């Protein structure tokens, strides 16, 4: 039996159900939100023009194993998209692609746990977008990763055939780093 999404605390903040406990999602900063929008807009346009499926926003909940997760962006291939009343509830399945944008205050061990969890639930690919390093790590399994830098192009032959964008375009114009900006905390 899964707890209903409505049982999350009513604080105006978004929650994920992790190991039976509601955990508040960190509030995103400006750079985090802008990066999600920049990548999401490119993905949405490509997916829509090629009729490949649907892109979902950061407030979309998916059942990932026994947990309920809200990836920063997600993609579901056309043949797996729910119809009828099911399209109004949470996704009772894992997306095909989960994208997480990592901010400097994120803990790397939690990110690694989430990657493993996504693959165990059937996600086909995970993209980890790291703001402090301006990289995109493409996971095709929990252990197989390709790291792209600003000089590279982000492509996906299997899930998004023909999709291509420069990694630098995802992050936008460079600004001076904040004094408090650091890499994710690694434990």
Instruction: Give residue-wise pLDDT tens across range 50-81.
Output: 999 999 998 898 988 888 889 999 999 999 98
pLDDT in the model for residue 2: 41
pLDDT in the model for residue 164: 96
Instruction: Tell me how far CA of residue 176 lies from CA of 15, 172, 179, 181, in angstroms.
Output: 32, 13, 9, 10
Among residues 171, 124, 130, the alpha carbon closest in space to that of 147 is found at 130
pLDDT above 50: residue 1: no
pLDDT-based confidence at 187, cuts 50/70/90?
very low
More confident residue, 120 or 21: 120
Q: Which domains does the chain have, with CATH numbers?
A: 37-171 (3.90.1570.10)
The answer to whether the CB of 137 falls within 8 A of the CB of 145 is yes
């Amino acid at each position: 039996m899964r707890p209903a999404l409505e049982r999350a605390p009513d604080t105006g903040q978004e929650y994920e159900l992790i190991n039976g406990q509601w955990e508040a999602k960190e509030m995103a900063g400006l750079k985090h939100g802008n990066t999600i929008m920049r990548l999401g807009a490119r993905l949405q346009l490509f997916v829509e023009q090629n009729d490949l499926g649907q892109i979902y926003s950061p407030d979309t909940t998916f059942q990932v194993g026994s947990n309920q997760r809200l990836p920063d962006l997600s993609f579901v291939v056309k043949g797996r998209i729910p119809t009828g009343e099911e399209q109004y509830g949470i996704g009772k399945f894992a997306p095909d692609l989960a994208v997480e944008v990592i901010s400097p205050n994120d803990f790397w061990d939690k990110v690694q746990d989430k990657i493993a969890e996504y693959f165990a639930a059937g996600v086909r690919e995970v993209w980890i977008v790291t703001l402090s390093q301006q990289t995109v790590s493409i996971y095709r399994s929990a252990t197989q990763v390709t790291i792209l830098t600003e000089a590279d192009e982000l492509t996906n032959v299997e899930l998004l055939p023909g999709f291509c964008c420069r990694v630098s375009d995802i992050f936008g114009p460079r600004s001076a780093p904040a004094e408090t900006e650091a890499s994710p905390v690694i434990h």
